[in-house]
Amino acid sequence: MRILILTQWFDPEPTFKGLLFAKGLKSQGHEVEVVTGFPNYPGGDIYENYRLKLYQKQIMDDICVHRVWLYPSHDGSALKRISNYVSFCISSFIFGTIRAKKFDVIYVYHPPATVGFSAALVGLIRRVPFVYDIQDLWPDSLRSTGMLKNERILKVINMLCNWIYKRADKIVVLSPGFKKALITRGVAQNKIEVIYNWCDEKSLSSHSTGEEFSFLTNKFNILFAGNMGKAQGLESVLEAAEKVSLKSSYIQFVFVGGGIDADRLKKLAQDRQLTNVIFVPRMPVTEVGRLMSNCDVLLVHLKKDPLFEITVPSKTQAYMSIGKPVLMAVPGDAAELIRLSGGGICVPSENPEALSAAVLDLSAKSKGELKSMGDSAKSYYEENLSFKNGITRFLKMFEDVIS
């Protein structure tokens, strides 16, 4: 097959279906090319060693990558963000219709929805089927996160999304809840496939050598790794840490990463004199994997929101692949994965009482019990959520839409 990947974000930018995905498809004997923008996410500035042009061809690990012009921006300005999305939509449409060579299927990574609009037009003109991979439900997430509040614009975006859904030959979603949401919007059930995201297995398992993390010594460590933003609701975790500190000095909460809420959380921990909370700066994936492996329990937490009940945070798969017990503080589809795997404990979101009780319960378990939970999480990941499993399912889908 000749597969064209259309995505606004691609390596070296952080993305779920980037170069690793392209190489996985190519390794199965297929021809793969990518149309993307010039790397600028998440800061909004063009990456070092890149220069904004109308077009640039690049070979990355034997994958042909076509970079087209866009307006680089990812700040809080709605107008600039829209300009970023629309500019890539126009550039990718022009390239897809005029310059791209003949291909059999287009794979489209969403968000933003404007990429789907470009693919739908290219597919219509060139009579090529496209598979639409939805990682973020628009306009629901835009409304939920407060990124966009104008109801008229949200209504227009909803109409655009519904048109793209009708044009798509297949739609991939990351959870059963996403599938149910699309069905309620009138999308045919047989058009939707649930394929869970995987993690960067190689990087997480390729632990770099170095000194052990001394701050973990003689502690029972609960790790939260990743973005610290408003959506994560981590103030509740600090409240849980405060409750735990009254019962045990053996338990420690470790936060690694950064985000718009990180500084506020650090100040809160300092103001409350939480000596059982430590913040660690961002680190390479290989280092994060080593840190995860050296902690006792891995925490997933999001604030209360109906949208998050049908979301599976990407760290879920990373945690499960490491083989450590998962403390899941997100209800719905993410919690169901942990329950099915037997790989951890589930508690409600933004509930410090339940979270602190679960932490104390886990700390009282034997090393054998904790290892058994971690092994169950890892086995479930390998059998149902792994990169190998996902690639196989995507290729089967591509063959189906072509035939």
Q: For the residues 141-147, what does the mean pLDDT come to? A: 67
Task: Say what the pLDDT of residue 306 is.
Answer: 87
Residue 387 CA to chain centroid, in angstroms? 14
End-to-end CA, the chain: 11
Q: Is CATH 3.40.50.2000 the right assignment for the domain spanning 202-383?
A: yes
Contact 107, 5 (CB under 8 A): yes
Span 354-373, pLDDT tens digits? 999 999 999 999 999 999 99
Closest CA to 345 of 333, 356, 335, 360: 335
Task: Say what the pLDDT of residue 72 is.
Answer: 93
The H or E element containing residue 318 is helix 314-322
Q: For the residues 105-132, what does the mean pLDDT come to? A: 94
Q: For the residues 133-141, what does the mean pLDDT come to? A: 84
Task: List b or e across 290-299, with b for residues whose CB sees 16 or more CB atoms inside 10 angstroms.
Answer: bbbebbbbbb
Structure tokens, 388: 């190998």
Percent of the chain with pLDDT over 70: 97
Structure tokens, 22: 């392209």
Q: For the residues 271-295, what does the mean pLDDT come to? A: 92
pTM, full prediction = 0.84
| Tokens 């500084």 sit on residue | 263
- Backbone phi and psi for residue 222, each to the nearest 5 degrees, phi listed first: -100, 120
Instruction: Tell me how far apart the 2 most distant CA atoms of the chain are, in Å.
Output: 66
Whole-angstrom distance, CA of residue 130 vs CA of residue 248: 55
Handedness of CA 45, 51, 54, 55 (dihedral sign): negative
Q: pLDDT: is 318 or 78 the higher one?
A: 318
pLDDT at 211 over 60: no
pLDDT at 261 over 60: yes
Task: Say what the pLDDT of residue 297 is.
Answer: 98
pLDDT at 145 over 80: no
Whole-angstrom distance, CA of residue 342 vs CA of residue 347: 14
Task: Say what the pLDDT of residue 284 is.
Answer: 85
Structure tokens, 176: 């059963």
pLDDT at 123 over 80: yes
Give the domain 2-198+386-402 fold.
Answer: Rossmann fold (3.40.50)
Residue ranges per structural domain of the chain: 2-198+386-402, 202-383
Contact 276, 241 (CB under 8 A): yes
Residue ranges in 295-366 assigned as alpha helix (H): 314-322, 333-341, 352-363
Task: Say what the pLDDT of residue 153 is.
Answer: 81
Task: Say what the pLDDT of residue 100 is.
Answer: 75
Beta-carbon-side half-sphere exposure of residue 148 (alpha carbons within 13 Å): 19
Cis peptide bond prior to 12, omega within 30° of 0: yes
Give how far Cα 63 sits from Cα of 20, 21, 238, Å. Answer: 10, 11, 44
Kindly write down the DSSP assignment for every residue of 98-127, as one continuous string: IIS---SEEEEEESSHHHHHHHHHHHHHHT
Over the chain, what is the mean pLDDT? 92
The DSSP 8-state label assigned to residue 208 in this structure reads P
Task: List b or e across 310-320, with b for residues whose CB sees 16 or more CB atoms inside 10 angstroms.
Answer: bbbbbbbbbbb
Closest CA to 171 of 107, 97, 115: 107
Contact 173, 134 (CB under 8 A): yes
pLDDT at 4 over 60: yes
3-class SS of residue 302: coil
Contact 347, 354 (CB under 8 A): yes
Kindly give the pairing relationship between strand 326-329 and strand 344-346.
parallel
Percent of the chain with pLDDT over 90: 76
pLDDT at 282 over 90: no
pLDDT band for position 208 (50/70/90)?
low
Task: Say what the pLDDT of residue 355 is.
Answer: 98
Task: Say what the pLDDT of residue 344 is.
Answer: 97
Span 323-355, pLDDT tens digits? 999 999 999 999 999 999 999 999 999 999 999
